[in-house]
């Protein structure tokens, strides 16, 4: 989630960045969505026994990044899992798919997550006499001295000035993140409609009702026999919400 917020901050778009890691290992799926307004949601699926080795959890997987723009066609890039951590996987993705040099430092203690991102801007066409050829390497060496404790506890302005005290540091206005899930009863009803009447009738006959839990916010949506029948009646109104948290 820290990585998705950092990457979203570099994008000039109105939409949502979606990062997925899909695997055949113990950790089946990781999904994080972060909008251009920094509204976020995430979910994960795993087997009972994850083990301790992260790479073994995601063996034979792939990393999928989707830019779902409100205006224009969505973009999706897919690369194999390469690297021993989320940071290395995303660095390889950015270099392979976007041809952008990127470095990430990420940490999580189970209660909070933090991170830092460095990205090399595209080269300017004109040559400048004062151009510093070694700045990318130098900045990376300085950034590599950051500790987990510093990432988790220091305010961003203090962290940046401590790491890059000899450089020209410019700070921008902070942008808060917040949880947001866009699920609602209408979207669930449309999803059920796509299953077809026969499938829906079969579920109702077997269970008496249909229950759908949102994998992001865990909101519960219930449809009884009357609700299910209404799914296939044209121009019907969506019934009042029967969702619970």
Any bridge partners for residue 76, and if so which?
66
Tokens of 78: 């897919």
3-state helix, strand, coil in the chain (%, to 5): 30, 25, 45
Asked whether residue 60 falls in the same domain as residue 104, the answer is yes
Q: Kindly give the confidence (pLDDT) of every residue in the chain, 245 residues in length, as a single tens digit, with 9 standing for 90 and above.
A: 999 999 999 888 889 999 999 988 888 899 999 999 999 999 999 887 777 788 788 877 899 999 998 887 888 888 888 888 899 999 988 888 888 899 999 999 888 899 999 999 876 555 555 666 788 999 999 999 999 999 999 999 999 999 998 888 888 888 999 999 999 999 999 999 999 999 999 999 999 999 999 999 999 999 999 999 999 986 445 555 555 55
Task: Give the three-state DSSP class for 163.
Answer: helix
Identify whether residues 217 and 114 lie together within a single domain.
no
Write out the two tokens for 232: 């296939």
With respect to residue 147, please indicate whether it lies within any of the assigned structural domains.
Answer: yes
**Which neighbouring-strand residues pair with 158?**
none
Q: Return the bridge partners of 15, or none.
A: 69
CATH of the domain at 56: 3.55.30.10
Taking alpha carbons only, the member of 47, 28, 40 closest to residue 2 is 40
Is 199 found in the same domain as 86? no
Q: Helix or strand or coil: residue 102? A: strand
The beta strands (E) that lie in 23-99 are given as: 27-35, 39-46, 62-69, 75-80
Torsion sign, CA atoms 194, 199, 204, 209: negative
pTM recorded for the entire structure: 0.80
* Residue 180, φ and ψ in degrees, nearest 5: -155, 130
Q: Are residues 147 and 74 in the same domain?
A: yes
Provide the residue range defining the domain that includes 218: 185-230
Whether residue 48 sits in one domain with residue 103: yes
């Amino acid at each position: 989630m820290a990585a998705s917020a950092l990457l979203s901050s570099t994008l000039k778009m109105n939409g949502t960045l979606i990062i997925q890691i899909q695997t055949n290992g113990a950790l089946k799926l990781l999904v994080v969505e972060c909008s251009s307004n920094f509204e976020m949601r995430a979910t994960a699926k795993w087997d009972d026994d994850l083990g301790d080795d992260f790479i073994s959890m995601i063996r034979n997987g792939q990393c999928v990044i989707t830019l779902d723009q409100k205006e224009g066609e969505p973009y999706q890039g897919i690369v194999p899992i390469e690297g021993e951590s989320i940071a290395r996987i995303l660095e390889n993705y950015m270099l392979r798919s976007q041809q952008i040099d990127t470095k990430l430092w990420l940490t999580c203690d189970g209660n909070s997550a933090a991170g830092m991102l460095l990205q090399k801007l595209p080269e300017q066409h004109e040559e400048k006499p004062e151009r510093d050829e070694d700045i990318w390497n130098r900045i990376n060496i300085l950034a590599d001295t950051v500790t987990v404790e510093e990432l988790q506890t220091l305010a961003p302005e203090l962290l940046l000035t401590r790491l890059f005290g000899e450089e020209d540091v410019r700070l921008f206005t902070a942008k808060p993140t917040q949880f947001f899930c866009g699920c609602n009863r209408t979207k669930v009803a449309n999803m059920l409609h796509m299953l077809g009447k026969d499938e829906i009738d079969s579920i109702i006959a077997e269970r008496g009702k249909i229950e759908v839990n949102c994998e992001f916010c865990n909101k519960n949506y219930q449809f009884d026999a009357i609700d299910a029948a209404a799914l296939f009646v044209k121009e019907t109104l969506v019934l009042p919400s029967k969702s619970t948290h």
